[in-house]
Structure 1
């Protein structure tokens, strides 16, 4: 990996950490705007880099929120990485609207589903709205910013992802 790409990766992780401090009111304190930098990174740096930013961004957001799910946040971070990776793959292939929709549905409804077995259906029902609202905000912000940032960054720094 080039030093240029590592620098950009670090920048997006930092932006994800800042986004993690902007909380969306929800029963779980780790619901935040930590995903949109990862979604942008998934398009500009590649899906794998975006997935890394998404996982790390979630872990820091959870840490800032007091780790309400304890070690289960590792599971959520892996789910976030998968959601961001899927977004990046779909977006880069030209299916931009589908990428946003899949991210919102996966992050809002599918990712919390394993917690039905661990914490029960009431927990799932309680967190789905907040997580879905956050996923909508993150997905829409990314969809608005990606074309503008991609154009400006490519013009100034060249293409970041092959």
Structure 2
């Protein structure tokens, strides 16, 4: 793996960790601004690597929140990997609107769905609104930052 990709992955993972410390008060202790940097990783990371950065970001967020769902956080980290992997693929194919819709639906609604059966329907219904709100906040932050980051990255690539 190129040193540049490793460096960008570490940077995105670190930004996810910082975002994990900014909690969104929606009743879910691991709800935080940890996925906004991961979505931004779509600008300059391959899809699998952006997904890894997102998974790391979730694990840090869960740790800061005290791992309220115990080992289920491994599942959530895997879901974050899938969400950001798909988002990055859509970004790379220039699906400018679809990638944001996908991020909101996949992370805000589909990601909590396994907990309907794994824990209880009540748990699913109680956490999904908070997760959806937090996802929208993360997507809005990434949406505002991505055009600037894309331009800066394109400019740097042109000069390399």
TM-score (norm 1): 0.93
Could you give the per-residue CA deviations for residues 8-64 of structure 1, whole angstroms, max 9, x where no partner exists?
Answer: 111111000000011111232101110011111123212111101110000000000
Residue 46 of structure 1 contacts residue 88 of structure 1 at CA under 8 Å; is this kept in 2? yes
- Whole-Å separation in 2 of the counterparts to 1:96 and 1:64: 33
- Whole-Å separation in 1 of the counterparts to 2:140 and 2:4: 27
4+ residue runs of structure 1 moved beyond 4 angstroms? Answer: none
- Whole-Å separation in 2 of the counterparts to 1:3 and 1:94: 26
Whether 2:132 is the aligned partner of 1:132: answer yes
- Whole-Å separation in 2 of the counterparts to 1:138 and 1:43: 16
Secondary structure of 1:32's aligned partner: coil
Aligned to 1:151: 151
Residue 42 of structure 1 contacts residue 49 of structure 1 at CA under 8 Å; is this kept in 2? no
Offset at residue 154 of structure 1 (A):
3.2
- Whole-Å separation in 2 of the counterparts to 1:41 and 1:60: 17
- Whole-Å separation in 1 of the counterparts to 2:121 and 2:134: 20
Q: Which runs of 5+ in 2 are unaligned?
A: none
Equivalent residues in 2 for 1:84-123, closer than 5 Å:
84-123=84-123
- Whole-Å separation in 1 of the counterparts to 2:64 and 2:34: 11
Secondary structure of 1:70's aligned partner: coil
Offset at residue 121 of structure 1 (A):
1.1
Residue 51 of structure 1 contacts residue 84 of structure 1 at CA under 8 Å; is this kept in 2? yes
Q: Which runs of 5+ in 1 are unaligned?
A: none
Equivalent residues in 2 for 1:8-157, closer than 5 Å:
8-156=8-156
- Say what the alpha-carbon RMSD is for the aligned residues: 1.2
Offset at residue 151 of structure 1 (A):
1.3
Between the two proteins, the alignment pairs up a number of residues equal to 158
Whether 2:7 is the aligned partner of 1:2: answer no
TM-score (norm 2): 0.94
Residue 42 of structure 1 contacts residue 48 of structure 1 at CA under 8 Å; is this kept in 2? no
